[in-house]
Structure 1
């Protein structure tokens, strides 16, 4: 069986992979999917704050990619076309349970205050290192969910993934000024909350990830046996997206955004059961006339 991740496919452009896929190469189709699936998944995870929801969104977007690939006319960049599909999926779907549970900073503040602070010994901090990190990621993902969806998406793209204003506005089909305004507002809202509450930003603030960890575990927000955010990754978002190219134009926020940018960028192979079932359906073969001797997504 041909290796779909061999240099023959990995080194090809998106347009070349699309041409090969539409001409019947399953390996080219998988290489195209593999190239983009992690970005889609990590954006979805930050948008929705829930692993299962992010996996479901990734499946739906990839299915839309496949079923609509023949409609892509190369009048724009493929990534722009694909990510617009992705972002529309975010903005149009019903609110998830995670979003409903954290609809405002006031709600998140009350939830945090309801969990008592329990100081850990140095030995406990060492033993619970992974759970402490999971507590931090869980809490910060909850903060992101306090932003309105369009504002949250702009923040994730512009602040975490270092997408510039021109490209961000193009991807979301809004004006550059609108993108900048939404990003500025999101920065201010998150910074104001963290500056007043979070010990990661100001040492005077009493809320500490380590002090909240046992409470998060007791409340079921962190499962030590099944970490959701602090696993299956080799890089951070910052390493994937690169260094900041633009200075902030209207708001100096110290280094708080860097904490978000150091969150994991997950590169695990998602168990896309629904997606695999679709790929093996006869209808897919009819769309692409895919070769029988090539297989896809054996995970």
Structure 2
């Protein structure tokens, strides 16, 4: 079960995120990026954050520690922004917190080199959870103390938005053409060999148990929260065994603009950037080999 803390101070909103997360301080003296149950995306976003974030951590990927945060909306009364005020009022009770990484920088592929092995693990993991939000447009990765950290897993497991079609949806291929790590020749075959055997029913049951009951109750079609948790386990377990055979690495949809500042890109030494053909070759080979 995730550690539960109590929010003691609302610090500031993070307007880069579509759900308007905010930085808060808590009674354990920690600082967290808080995601709200009252945000427009709803509680399923938080469920996905917990299951996929905790699964990634257990597979050895760097994901900031997650906690649940009890929020009394009164702590935001001094916040002048009406939109933030309304969000806080709608989010009383249990919310999600992600450990704040002070001094971290958003990932940019021109400023940070990623090895084929690490790129392969991240792409394979994103294929497993069907993450549609780790593209060059929005990498959802941070660099902290020289390491790559994965954040924001709310746009994953899209099948849980339509449970009757979950089995068919989970069986679909994963298009990694626009994945931010596609240019680094990800070694997907090696990642699958390393990580797929770790994705057991026991492990998935464990991470599903981390989701608070309050975010699972009253789901149409399910008689209990335990039944719903089992529904989260099944698609991921089935997908883990074969998803590496269905990862496409084709040409990207558009040119990838760098988000690095000019003063940085001017000082970066030139390096080889694998072509789309390299990626397609890697995909074909894969298909054959099928803290704070």
Identify, as 1 or 2, the structure richer in strand.
2
Q: Which has the larger radius of gyration?
A: 1
Q: What TM-score, normalized by structure 1, do the two folds share?
A: 0.28
- The structure whose RCO (Cα within 8 Å, separation 6+) is larger is 1
Q: What TM-score, normalized by structure 2, do the two folds share?
A: 0.28
Identify, as 1 or 2, the structure richer in helix.
1
